[in-house]
């Protein structure tokens, strides 16, 4: 897996993904299957972050919007090994441009 990552990062600086495939579930729904599947909500929450944790690559999750019901949505930015500075620079640039930190969901 690490070898595959090294190969990918020969041609890209960062990989950008959603942080999670689903919006934040209610606590009492964490161990129930979501969306008619067999995977629990708790298991699905780490689906996109797990890979970078396993191979030890730097990654950050930052806000990138809200669902229609007002739940936060995260954007994950991952970089090559020992290149935390690029990950942080990309995250900062996105945050300064998108300004999601200035928004709050409707209550």
Q: What residues have CB less than 8 Å from 17, skipping those under 6 apart? A: 48, 75, 76, 78
- Residues 8, 31: contact at Cβ < 8 Å? no
d(CA 62, CA 91): 7
Closest by Cα among 64, 51, 47, 54 to 101: 64
**Residue written as token pair 């995250």:** 91
Q: pLDDT (tens digit, 9 = 90+) per residue, 47-85?
A: 999 999 999 999 999 999 999 888 889 999 999 999 999
Question: What pLDDT, on a 0 to 100 scale, did the predictor assign at position 36?
Answer: 76
Q: pLDDT (tens digit, 9 = 90+) per residue, 85-104?
A: 999 999 999 999 999 988 88
Task: For residue 18, give both structure tokens.
Answer: 């959603």
Closest by Cα among 64, 71, 68, 80 to 17: 64
Question: What pLDDT, on a 0 to 100 scale, did the predictor assign at position 64?
Answer: 94
Question: What pLDDT, on a 0 to 100 scale, did the predictor assign at position 70?
Answer: 87
Question: What pLDDT, on a 0 to 100 scale, did the predictor assign at position 86?
Answer: 98
Q: pLDDT (tens digit, 9 = 90+) per residue, 15-32?
A: 999 999 998 888 998 998
d(CA 104, CA 14): 28
């Amino acid at each position: 897996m690490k070898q595959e990552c090294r190969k990918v990062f020969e041609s890209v600086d960062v990989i950008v993904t959603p942080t999670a495939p689903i919006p934040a579930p209610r606590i009492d729904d964490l161990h129930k299957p979501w969306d008619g599947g067999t995977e629990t909500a708790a298991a699905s929450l780490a689906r996109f972050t797990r890979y970078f944790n396993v191979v030890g690559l730097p990654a950050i999750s930052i806000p990138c919007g809200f669902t229609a019901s007002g739940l936060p949505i995260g954007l994950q930015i991952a970089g090559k090994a020992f290149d935390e500075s690029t990950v942080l620079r990309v995250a900062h640039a996105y945050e300064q441009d998108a300004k999601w930190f200035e928004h709050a969901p409707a209550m």
